[in-house]
Structure 1
Amino acid sequence: MFHVYWPATACLTLFLIVGVIMVMLRWGPRICRTRNVALPERTDWQHRVYEQTVTYA
Structure 2
Amino acid sequence: MKYTEGMEKAMHASHGVGYAVYSQKHEVRIDVEQQREEEYVTSRRIVADFNSKLTNHLS
Give the TM-score range, shorter chain: 0.3 to 0.5
Q: Larger helix proportion, structure 1 or 2? A: 2
**When the two structures are superposed, what TM-score results if normalisation uses the length of structure 1?**
0.44
Structure 2 length-normalised TM: 0.43
Larger relative contact order, structure 1 or 2 (CA cutoff 8 Å, min sep 6): 2
Larger Rg: 1
